[in-house]
Structure 1
Amino acid sequence: MEHARITSLQVAERAGVSQSAVSRVFTPGASASAKTIAKVRKAAEELGYRPNRVARTMITGKSRIIGLVVAYLDNQFYPQALEHLSNALQEKGYHVLVFTATNSPEKVEEVMRDLLDFQVDGIITASVAVTSDLTVRCNAAGIPVVMFNRDQDGADVNAVTSDNVNGGRKVAEFLVQCGHRRIAHISGWDGSSTGRDRRRGFSEGLAAHGHKPHQIIDGMYNRDTASQATRDLMDSLTPPDAIFVGNDHMAFAVMDTLRHELGLKIPQDVAIVGFDDVPLAAWPSYDLTTVRQPLNRMVEATVDMVIAQIDEGVIAPRRVAFDGPLIRRSSTRQPKGQET
């Protein structure tokens, strides 16, 4: 037998309050006294009432849903970032809808169309490129878009990243200080701003000390590609004595290949530096020297940016980059003069 849906009016009558008071209790961000909240929630529980979010969306025009689009989750940085983003948005009264998409324009466009159909209030893209056409369409629909850990040249869109250029410079300067001269780079995907910016900072950092990269190979942010790049580098007549890897995800593959396949010691034979500082980087089996992305600051800025646009309407796009420290661990030697 089908039971009739309990209405907010019935809850109001049971709690002895107005129907608008019931609405305020179940609307994130709305104000109600502690006494009213207690009475309404008690009545709702007794009656088995659940607010109709679809109806509320139709009335207010707001779904309280943010779409999160991520390219791939095998990189340990992104599950961690999505968890932080989801928690931060939920604290603001928003729910999260996660989509995965490859970086092909066709797939990204398909996913963004789906998100528009879900009537999300805003979209956050993590490591996904957004075309100018998609940006225009989202703006026309009144849906703000914020790019997380990715920027895009020429795109009229908000972006929050770490300072990838300066991070690359820090790595170059540190490895030169450690006495390395044949410093190679297995870079991130050349089609991404993060990969290009880290490579540029690294090259500029070496140039400032009168050096050039020993060799640069595009690792495509892919473990297998990074492993093959490691074999190619170490099989050359003059192998590198240090490798800067474009992110930790690839750096772990590089370290595994060096140790378990090529029989080399880290850092005695070759030093390794990554980028991101995911939790696995601190595990004793890797103990990876890496540039830490200031994740908490990046998440806070991203959430504040998307919600400000939802609440206040059109705001001029902003680009924010946060500096992150170089975390020294045992995958590298100590700089000259600091040895113990």
Structure 2
Amino acid sequence: MNKSRVTSMQVAHKAGVSQSAVSRVFTPGGSVSDKTREKVMRAAESLGYSPNVLARAMTTGRSQIIGLVVAYLDNQFYPEAIERLAVALQEQGYHALVFMATPTIGDTDDVMRQLLDYQVDGIVLASVSMSSSLASKCEDHGIPVVLFNRDQDDARMSAVTTDNIEGGRAIARHFAEKGAQRVGYVAGFEGASTQIDREKGFLQGLEEAGLSLAMREVGGFEYPLARTAALEFCAGRDRPDAVFVCNDHMAFAFVDAVRHKIGMRIPEDLLVAGFDDVPIAAWPAYDLTSYRQPINRMVAQTVDVLLAQIDNADIPARKLRLEGELIVRGSTGGPSQRQG
């Protein structure tokens, strides 16, 4: 037989306090004496009571829930980012509700409509974008939206990214310093701001160094497509001598294909650089040169911007670009990271 849910009224009766006192105990920041809090918690524990977060949201207007929408979890950057975002929000008294989406705006909008049913206090979009009409709906409901590792041309949404343009430019400069002459680029998903800005910076850097892009393939941020791109690059005689792959996840696929299917040596025959600097980049199997995203600062800024807008709806949206760092390793002839 199913047990009925314990109510706050029952807890109040057992603790000898008012129902409003029970509500204040389970509301973050609620004003209540230590004595009352102790009585309520003791009664709640003995009855097996847990507060109904969504019901509380109906009365307080706050659910203490932040919606996190993410795609590309096979990209090693995002599981780490989502974990850190969830922990940072929890430290501020909020809970993360994670929804999965694909990079296409239509699919993201469907997920977002579901998310709004949970009466979230704010939304973080990681690696995805949303339509203008849905952005208007969030604005009408007073729900702030922050884009994480993405940006789009909408002044209503805050965004926190690495300076992807400068990251691409730094990799181009590094290739030039290494004497590269025939340079290739493996693009990510063409509609992503990260892809657009990284390629823009890379082309600028090549031009500044007196070089031009010799080859280009699209990997779409997917391992199989990036592997195919590697085979296309190296199929003929006019092979590149340096390739920038738009993120580390694709760079691992590129390196695997070049080494094991084509038999080229890295870095002796080909320089390869990625972007993100996920932990696997430092593993001896890849020893990958990569532009490091400042993930801790990105998470901290995202949480600060979001919570500030939750507390004060009049705060304008902010677009933050944080400086990263080029980490040079063996894949471009830098210091080897070999262990042992």
When normalised by structure 1's length, the TM-score is 0.92
Q: CA deviation at 1:211?
A: 1.1
Secondary structure (helix, strand or coil) at the match of 2:324 reads coil
2:161–2:298 CA contact under 8 A, matched in 1: yes
Residue 150 in 1 paired to residue 150 in 2?
yes
1:326 corresponds in structure 2 to: 326
Q: CA deviation at 1:29?
A: 2.9
RMSD of the TM alignment (CA)?
Answer: 1.9
Question: Could you tell me how far apart the structure 1 residues matched to 2:334 and 2:114 are?
Answer: 51
Q: CA deviation at 1:275?
A: 0.3
Amino acid at match of 2:254: V
Secondary structure (helix, strand or coil) at the match of 1:39 reads helix
Question: Could you tell me how far apart the structure 2 residues matched to 1:219 and 1:36 are?
Answer: 59
Unaligned runs of 5+ in 1: 336-340
Question: Could you tell me how far apart the structure 2 residues matched to 1:295 and 1:262 are?
Answer: 34
1:132–1:156 CA contact under 8 A, matched in 2: no
Amino acid at match of 2:317: P
Q: CA deviation at 1:149?
A: 0.5
Cα 1:224/1:6, change in 2 over 3 Å: closer
Secondary structure (helix, strand or coil) at the match of 1:272 reads strand
Secondary structure (helix, strand or coil) at the match of 2:209 reads coil
Amino acid at match of 1:46: S
2:22–2:40 CA contact under 8 A, matched in 1: yes
Question: Could you tell me how far apart the structure 2 residues matched to 1:281 and 1:326 are?
Answer: 12
Residue 239 in 1 paired to residue 239 in 2?
yes
Question: Could you tell me how far apart the structure 1 residues matched to 2:135 and 2:51 are?
Answer: 33
2:54–2:119 CA contact under 8 A, matched in 1: no
Question: Could you tell me how far apart the structure 2 residues matched to 1:221 and 1:4 are?
Answer: 48
1:38 corresponds in structure 2 to: 38
Q: CA deviation at 1:4?
A: 5.5
Question: Could you tell me how far apart the structure 1 residues matched to 2:188 and 2:2 are?
Answer: 56
1:129 corresponds in structure 2 to: 129
Amino acid at match of 2:252: F
Secondary structure (helix, strand or coil) at the match of 2:168 reads helix
Q: CA deviation at 1:39?
A: 3.5
2:282 corresponds in structure 1 to: 282
Question: Could you tell me how far apart the structure 1 residues matched to 2:299 and 2:185 are?
Answer: 28
Q: CA deviation at 1:44?
A: 1.5
Secondary structure (helix, strand or coil) at the match of 1:266 reads coil
2:213 corresponds in structure 1 to: 213
Q: CA deviation at 1:52?
A: 2.4
1:12-91 aligned at under 5 Å gives the runs: 12-15=12-15, 17-91=17-91
Question: Could you tell me how far apart the structure 1 residues matched to 2:152 and 2:60 are?
Answer: 33
2:338 corresponds in structure 1 to: none
Residue 262 in 1 paired to residue 241 in 2?
no
Residue 197 in 1 paired to residue 236 in 2?
no
Question: Could you tell me how far apart the structure 2 residues matched to 1:33 and 1:286 are?
Answer: 57
Question: Could you tell me how far apart the structure 2 residues matched to 1:113 and 1:321 are?
Answer: 28
Identity of aligned residues (%): 54
Number of aligned pairs?
335
Q: CA deviation at 1:40?
A: 2.7
Unaligned runs of 5+ in 2: 336-340
1:299-314 aligned at under 5 Å gives the runs: 299-314=299-314
2:110 corresponds in structure 1 to: 110
Q: CA deviation at 1:265?
A: 1.0
1:338 corresponds in structure 2 to: none
Cα 1:29/1:279, change in 2 over 3 Å: farther
When normalised by structure 2's length, the TM-score is 0.92
Question: Could you tell me how far apart the structure 2 residues matched to 1:32 and 1:327 are?
Answer: 51
Q: CA deviation at 1:63?
A: 1.6
Worse-superposed segment, 305-314 or 136-145: 305-314
Cα distance per residue 1:309-336 (max 9 Å; x no partner): 111113211100111111111111149x
Cα 1:108/1:204, change in 2 over 3 Å: same
1:125–1:147 CA contact under 8 A, matched in 2: yes
1:131–1:155 CA contact under 8 A, matched in 2: no
Cα distance per residue 1:155-196 (max 9 Å; x no partner): 531111111000001111111112222221112222111001
1:163–1:323 CA contact under 8 A, matched in 2: yes
